[in-house]
Structure 1
Amino acid sequence: MNYRKGYFILSLLCLTLFMGLKSSAQNIQIKGQVVEENSKQSLAFATVAIVDQATKKAISGSITDDEGYFDLDTSASNFYVEVSYMGFISKTIKTFDIKRNTANLGVILLAEDAEQLNEVVVQAEVSRNEFKLDKRVFNIGKDISNTGVSALEVLSNVPSVSVSIEGAISLRGSQGVQVLINGKPSILTEDSGSLGSITADMIEKIEVITNPSAKYEAEGTSGIINIVIKKEERKGVNGSVTLNTGVPDNHSVGLSLNKRSEKFNLFTQIGLGRRSSPQDSENINNDLINNTILYNIGESFRNEKFYTITLGTDYYINDNNVITLSGNYAFEDEDQPSDNNYQLFDEDENLVSEWNRNETTEASNPKWQYELQYKRDFEDHEDHDLLISATGRSFSKDQNSLFSDKTVSGSDYDATQRTRTDFGENTFTFKLDYTKPFSEKWSMETGVQYVLSDVSNDYEVQNLINGNFETDFGLTNIFEFDQDVLGVYVTGAFDSGKWGVKPGLRMEYTKVNTLLVDTDEANNQDYFNFFPSIHTSYKISDMVSLQAGYSKRIYRPRLWDLNPFFNIRNNFNIRQGNPDLQPEFTDSYEVTSIFDIGKTSLNFGLFQRYTTEVIERVSTSSNNVIVQRPENIGTNSTYGIEFNTKISPVQWLSFNVDFNYNKFSRVGSFQTTVFDFKGDQWNSKILAKFKFPADIDFEATGNYNSKYQTIQSEVSDNIFLDLGLRKKILKGKGVINMSVRDVFESRIQESVTVQDDFEAYSKNKRGRFITFGFSYGFGKGDAMEYSGSRRR
């Protein structure tokens, strides 16, 4: 329950009810200051009531200001004063001196009520999983193993979500995912590495929307993942600080501050840190035409220093109108060394040559995001509102790499290369959303959104020839990408309490222009699409509910899908883009049943997706150089089941189980190769939580991902375990944590590709990560443990 908000509203009601009882002729003025006993910090918005001695009923009241002061008057003659604040022991004052019609109560000290605070935590705790009509909510503050990790690692523990070692995010086995922050695209979701600047301590919850309504952008064929960043709105000053350290290097400091008054809500989050992500790799390229085999064993690092700051303010014009101005700046300073050993064997397995390839890469990535938002709440209904926003995002990368190949034995492979990347992206989003309830049962939503994206990637490769670096024009070009998307939507909803339905229609016009500047190769497209959706729910009883939904989705190729000029870190395994790619379209259906049985909740669902113009990476090989390039290849039909449950057999033990299985059928061809095949895959997560005495919590999370087939390869299965331990200290305001990710270093990703002219094997491993953390809430704030279930 939202106790503090209730106290605040009650106080305002008291003021309203008793304003008319004031009498200036015989009034007695009562004033003083309310202060927290331990910290001696003032308590804003404490309730001060004047109570009749005979009836024990309040006859007047007030609340303290930002500094804890109060000043009220009464015409009563037989009364006492009662001071109360949520989480503190109330104080009754019956003896005081009245001089010149004034009673100065001085400083009133309130002590924390430990028992009451404990009750608040228990009662305010939200479930780890919450199921709503069109989304599932995952509350982050409940998982100890998220200590000190980034948003990418947090996502790997979210039901239905999988994250590969390379950082590719999948939802129900599909990578066509739209990742949002606070309901909007962000510079921090443009690539998986950028999610590292968001730590778990900053996240309040993650929303998984497998079948979005027409209100949401149509982008993302498998659905939407929305990362909700914490924003404290309690009255007064609130704050928390977090310290983390770990092995390999993973050190960070986070500070969250908030000050809320009647007119303003000021908030900021500051984070800085350093981390290292080592990766071991092994690749085998087998050229079946020339009968040669290339072995490659490598080690690479991504060492980063990162800084992030968020500043914002809400200005409450009045009770119905609020303006929000916020900005975020993030900066990453990257160092990416790698060391690879190559061995080339002939058809008789004789060593032809051996050489080492060393890389030194430095990059700086400044990122900006800023937003101006206006919200109007209409008085006729709490859900009647208008929201207008303008958002700007900017991301740039300045990267330089030096590659040095040194021959160890055999044929001469000595070479020196260097690359330069100058990348810039600017995106502007303008949005209007309007919600209008016509009655308690009928409502409507409508809105418009316009997104403009302007991207440029200047990539150059140079080879050292006779002591001078010369540009390799076959690998060098400037790629420009411009995309504008205009969307308009309308939805209607009927909800009788037992049965509800929400149909909607979204229309989007897309214009895309790509240009390779040096070769003057242009590809311009524009298309107009309709995206219908419908959701319905039926409540069979208080324990059983059914939900069903349909939506049409699109995946538009991104810059890295389109840009043919990429990285040459491993110049025998190269990834390229394809500027001729067409968008994917998906029809998504699902039916879900929800059972609440005592302390156990069960969720069982069936889903089906049909995708056309499927984008897959196709590998080709020549002289042991494997090139992967995305192509539109046919259709994909996927059927699946999903099961989630939470079981608490005893008070100190609970289990969260997530299981996902899907079976797919692929039909397609590329050039002369047919890629028709059928396959399946499944994954499961089990989270066990233990509550021990002395406020100690322990949890273990097991993950299993089955093997599965792609159009050319088979990806092996993997299983790994994460552990977490938490201890509350300092009366619950402090929390110490420890987490171990991939305890047995078993999270290994392997794939095997077998084709008529080549075979390939790939293996990657990250290893074990250990993190220690400390969080402390000050002022009226809580330690970061409560990020998903904050007290108010």
Structure 2
Amino acid sequence: MNHLKTFSTILILGLTLLLSFTSAAQNTQIKGQVVEENSKQPLAFATVAILDSSTNKALSGSITDDNGKFNLDTEASDFYVQVSYMGFVSKTIKQFEVKKNKVNLGIVLLAEDAEQLNEVVVQAEVSRNEFKLDKRVFNVGKDISNTGASALEVLSNVPSVSVNIEGAISLRGSQGVQVLINGKPSILTEDSGSLGSITSDMIEKIEVITNPSAKYEAEGTSGIINIIIKKEERKGVNGSVSLNTGVPDNHSVGVSLNKRSEKFNLFTQIGLGRRSRPQDNENINEDLINNTTLYNIGEEYRNEKFYTITLGTDYYLNDDNVFTLSGNYAFEDEDQPSDNNFQLFDVNNNLDSEWSRTEVTEAANPKWQYELQYKRDFKDHEDHDLLISATGRSFSKDQNSLFVDETISGSDRDATQKTRTDFGENTFTFKLDYTKPFSDKWSMETGAQYVLNDVSNDFEVQNLINGDFETDFGLTNVFEFNQNVLGVYATAAFQSGNWGVKPGLRMEYTEVSTLLVNTDEANDQDYTNLFPSIHTSYKISDAVSLQAGYSNRIYRPRLWDLNPFFNIRNNFNIRQGNPDLQPEFTDSYEITSIFDIGKTSLNFGLFHRYTNEVIERVSTSVDNVIVTRPENIGTNSTVGIEFNTKYTPVRWLSFNVDFNYNRFSRVGSFESTVFDFKGNQWNYKILAKLKLPADIDFEATSNYNSGYQTIQSDVSSISFLDLGLRKKILKGKGVVNMSVRDVFASRYSETVTIQDDFEAYNRSQRGRFITFGFSYGFGKGDAMEYSGGRRH
């Protein structure tokens, strides 16, 4: 732990240095909020400039936050303020009162400029990536290559985020990430495949929170990814529709509608479609004890029909009290055929036997989510509010599979198996958040959350014996999983001039119980943990800012980590869970610098993670059958750097670059085998955006993920390229798109495992996807590809 103490000392010294930068000059502080005159909705990203009264030259400037608020300083004594926003009439403010070096402009109303409205959709630009104190925001609507994509595919283009072809999500190289929807856990994030029912047209933005404050639940050792779904709030009737089609079979329709009056805001999102995801697999299992080799080449599909609808209403009891009732229903109808060929070679490399294994799987997956929320705004301060919510989630799966093995040559391999899965999960979340500003400098947040999770999985395997199907009791059982988590938190924030700090503490009490009903195998746990956090920032100048943060996080084993049932899709490469698995705990440190220099914005960060009880997947082999299951193995210390930049050399060309590198040290052992080693991994994304004549935009996104080492295996590097083309039509209300994902079909997963008693090679590949799309906005709305930067 010496290295951890050293890093802590460095971080504390760094925070002390930030404090020492605080200027002694008597700056004048100017604050206010920019609001759209007609809808009374805050305007995010409006420009606020301070200008010299005699020369009219700009002295400093800033943009408003998500709530339309701004806060900036100046050393000048004779100045005026100008507020502007594309598509609105600019406002100049020269009459104001200075009290104790402070100017409060209050609410600044901007009116729409009718002459500019037709140009807003074409010309308005918001930063593709926004950097905030404890998170980064990725604006999805501006990424052409996301046309027709699912939420899972959209995530693969987000900086610092990687998604492999099996749908596993990683943040800065770690899979211990918590995925939220609109700031809350969702039934659609429990299984990465369920994110397919959310299309890119429904997503407004994605927040990447690498070092969450104590306000957020402590789940997710590498951080939090928060998917924000669009919700229109402007008065009148607004809406948009999108159509997508592509190959392989990929078709979807999305509709967004809202109607806003004085008291009600009715909103809905509807999506439906079908997609096919073929995948080629190759596996080689070598038994070094018996010197036999098993070759397996196959193709599998996941054909889905999906439907999703979100329906809700905001009821404005008065200006200070709002009730929101919303619900979401999603249904997936799955067809998962597969066809595999097996060849077994003996010690002399002679073909012993050859057979095929075919699969027919059908599944129906209905999902429900419903929420009641109440928000109270107090009159004494615009940030003084109370938020109470209750959410229910339900997910069930009814799946049946038939597996048939047919001998081609050699030993008799004929066999027939059936499996049945009846799965049900119910989750209830109760949450309270309270924010109280005590002054312009001091504020606090406190709240509580209680999550109840109840799961039952009834799984049966049957073998065809003498013409009748008989239950295999060794593989059949009912697995019950219950987890309740109570969390309580408090944070305090201090902001003075260019410096701010936000410490916090969260307590969580966890109860977990698992039970294999048929064999009466139970495992109960309960534990209480404290999760401190601290974030600080210092603005050296208008162009340079520094941020630092620390948080303590947990990764609780999820259902499929604990579920001991075998997946027999390939009965020579089996995955199962481990009901004895313990949670991971991570200390996470981060220092970040942000530079805004002319046409270039730079973000450079240094991070360190130290994790105890690391969960790793361990494989064992007997007679060419490889079984993989998760185990707790030792510690992992990771030190890394992160670099992001946006460069616009000319108005019609821009580049976004994202680079991550980390070096890790693994220390641990399992069943007398020592797994101590060091390694590194790195990745980059480069997005080039090109504006062509005739309102055509072109994008090219290059991705590279280096190879890396796990406790047993080596994972190969991959590189792939995505392209996108967009054309605005119908005066900017309509948009046509084309995207090509994985242009060279070079995105694959390849792993080599070498152990004393066995070796294994695994490779999977999905291939190229081409999609065409059209979207159209009506009412006061714009096409779904872009909202023009106004509040949604």
TM-score w.r.t. structure 2 length?
Answer: 0.86
Change (3 A) 1:86 1:120: farther
SS at match of 1:655: strand
Q: What amino acid sits opposite 2:378 in the alignment?
A: F
* Shift of residue 791, structure 1, vs aligned partner: 7.0
8 Å contact 1:680–1:708 — kept in the other structure? Answer: yes
- 1:5 and 2:5 are equivalent in the alignment: no
Structure-to-structure mapping, 1:665-704, within 5 angstroms: 665-704=665-704
SS at match of 2:36: helix
* Shift of residue 172, structure 1, vs aligned partner: 0.2
Name the counterpart of 1:86.
Answer: 112
SS at match of 1:382: coil
Q: What amino acid sits opposite 1:244 in the alignment?
A: N
* Shift of residue 2, structure 1, vs aligned partner: 11
8 Å contact 1:296–1:340 — kept in the other structure? Answer: yes
Q: CA separation in 2, counterparts of 1:401 and 1:8?
A: 54
Q: Deviations over 1:60-88 (max 9, x none)?
A: xxxxxxxxxxxxxxxxxxxxxxxx98353
Structure-to-structure mapping, 1:281-296, within 5 angstroms: 281-296=281-296
Change (3 A) 1:8 1:306: closer
Structure-to-structure mapping, 1:349-748, within 5 angstroms: 349-748=349-748
* Shift of residue 776, structure 1, vs aligned partner: 0.2
Change (3 A) 1:440 1:791: closer
Q: What amino acid sits opposite 1:563 in the alignment?
A: N
* Shift of residue 789, structure 1, vs aligned partner: 2.7
8 Å contact 2:140–2:205 — kept in the other structure? Answer: yes
Q: CA separation in 2, counterparts of 1:349 and 1:412?
A: 19
Instruction: Mark the runs of 5 or more structure 1 residues left unpaired by the alignment.
Output: 11-83, 89-112
* Shift of residue 788, structure 1, vs aligned partner: 7.4
* Shift of residue 748, structure 1, vs aligned partner: 1.6
Q: Is the deviation greater in 544-553 or in 562-571? A: 562-571
SS at match of 2:266: strand
Q: Deviations over 1:241-271 (max 9, x none)?
A: 0000000000001110000011000000111
* Shift of residue 749, structure 1, vs aligned partner: 1.2
* Shift of residue 7, structure 1, vs aligned partner: 3.9
Change (3 A) 1:87 1:467: farther
Q: Is the deviation greater in 702-711 or in 376-385? A: 376-385
Name the counterpart of 2:259.
Answer: 259
Q: Deviations over 1:140-181 (max 9, x none)?
A: 011000000000010000000000010000000000000000
Change (3 A) 1:788 1:403: farther
* Shift of residue 6, structure 1, vs aligned partner: 2.3
Q: What amino acid sits opposite 1:514 in the alignment?
A: T
Equivalenced residues, count: 693
Larger radius of gyration: 1
8 Å contact 1:203–1:787 — kept in the other structure? Answer: no
Structure-to-structure mapping, 1:242-257, within 5 angstroms: 242-257=242-257
Change (3 A) 1:749 1:316: same
Q: CA separation in 1, counterparts of 2:123 and 2:260?
A: 25
* Shift of residue 566, structure 1, vs aligned partner: 3.3
Change (3 A) 1:785 1:4: farther
Q: CA separation in 2, counterparts of 1:357 and 1:120?
A: 54
Runs of 4+ in 1 over 6 A off after TM superposition: 1-4
8 Å contact 2:121–2:787 — kept in the other structure? Answer: no
* Shift of residue 116, structure 1, vs aligned partner: 3.7
Q: Deviations over 1:177-197 (max 9, x none)?
A: 000000000000001100000
8 Å contact 2:121–2:732 — kept in the other structure? Answer: no
Of all paired residues, the percent bearing the same amino acid is: 84
Q: CA separation in 1, counterparts of 2:380 and 2:534?
A: 27
- 1:117 and 2:143 are equivalent in the alignment: no
Name the counterpart of 2:12.
Answer: none
Q: What amino acid sits opposite 1:86 in the alignment?
A: E
* Shift of residue 599, structure 1, vs aligned partner: 2.0
8 Å contact 1:374–1:389 — kept in the other structure? Answer: yes
Name the counterpart of 1:345.
Answer: 345
SS at match of 1:542: coil
Name the counterpart of 2:227.
Answer: 227
Q: What amino acid sits opposite 1:232 in the alignment?
A: E
Name the counterpart of 1:96.
Answer: none
Q: What amino acid sits opposite 1:780 in the alignment?
A: K
* Shift of residue 497, structure 1, vs aligned partner: 3.0
Q: Deviations over 1:379-423 (max 9, x none)?
A: 111111000000000000000000000000000100000000000
SS at match of 1:118: helix
8 Å contact 1:450–1:486 — kept in the other structure? Answer: yes
Q: What amino acid sits opposite 2:547 in the alignment?
A: Q
SS at match of 1:195: helix
Q: What amino acid sits opposite 2:684 in the alignment?
A: S
8 Å contact 1:2–1:791 — kept in the other structure? Answer: no
* Shift of residue 567, structure 1, vs aligned partner: 1.8
Name the counterpart of 1:762.
Answer: 762
8 Å contact 1:363–1:399 — kept in the other structure? Answer: yes
8 Å contact 1:205–1:788 — kept in the other structure? Answer: no
Q: Deviations over 1:469-514 (max 9, x none)?
A: 0111111110000000000000000011300000000000000010
TM-score w.r.t. structure 1 length?
Answer: 0.86
* Shift of residue 8, structure 1, vs aligned partner: 4.6
SS at match of 1:784: coil
Q: What amino acid sits opposite 1:537 in the alignment?
A: S
Q: CA separation in 1, counterparts of 2:250 and 2:299?
A: 19
8 Å contact 2:39–2:235 — kept in the other structure? Answer: no
Q: Deviations over 1:609-664 (max 9, x none)?
A: 00000000100000000000100000000000000000000110000000000000
Structure-to-structure mapping, 1:34-113, within 5 angstroms: 86=112, 88=114, 113=115
Q: CA separation in 2, counterparts of 1:572 and 1:338?
A: 15
Q: What amino acid sits opposite 2:118 in the alignment?
A: L
Q: What amino acid sits opposite 1:118 in the alignment?
A: E
8 Å contact 2:781–2:787 — kept in the other structure? Answer: no
8 Å contact 2:39–2:234 — kept in the other structure? Answer: no
* Shift of residue 733, structure 1, vs aligned partner: 0.3
Q: CA separation in 1, counterparts of 2:753 and 2:180?
A: 33
Name the counterpart of 1:753.
Answer: 753
* Shift of residue 120, structure 1, vs aligned partner: 6.6
Q: What amino acid sits opposite 1:117 in the alignment?
A: N
* Shift of residue 222, structure 1, vs aligned partner: 0.3
Q: CA separation in 1, counterparts of 2:463 and 2:497?
A: 69
Q: What amino acid sits opposite 1:316 in the alignment?
A: Y
* Shift of residue 682, structure 1, vs aligned partner: 0.2
Q: Please report the RMSD computed on the Cα atoms of aligned residues, expressed in angstroms.
A: 1.5
Q: CA separation in 2, counterparts of 1:787 and 1:709?
A: 43
Name the counterpart of 2:98.
Answer: none
8 Å contact 2:616–2:632 — kept in the other structure? Answer: yes
SS at match of 2:37: helix
Q: Deviations over 1:567-589 (max 9, x none)?
A: 21000000010000000000000
Q: What amino acid sits opposite 2:123 in the alignment?
A: V
Q: Deviations over 1:40-65 (max 9, x none)?
A: xxxxxxxxxxxxxxxxxxxxxxxxxx
* Shift of residue 790, structure 1, vs aligned partner: 4.0
Q: CA separation in 1, counterparts of 2:375 and 2:602?
A: 37
8 Å contact 2:750–2:761 — kept in the other structure? Answer: yes
Q: Is the deviation greater in 693-702 or in 777-786? A: 777-786
Name the counterpart of 2:172.
Answer: 172
SS at match of 2:301: strand
* Shift of residue 9, structure 1, vs aligned partner: 4.9
* Shift of residue 3, structure 1, vs aligned partner: 9.1
SS at match of 1:145: helix
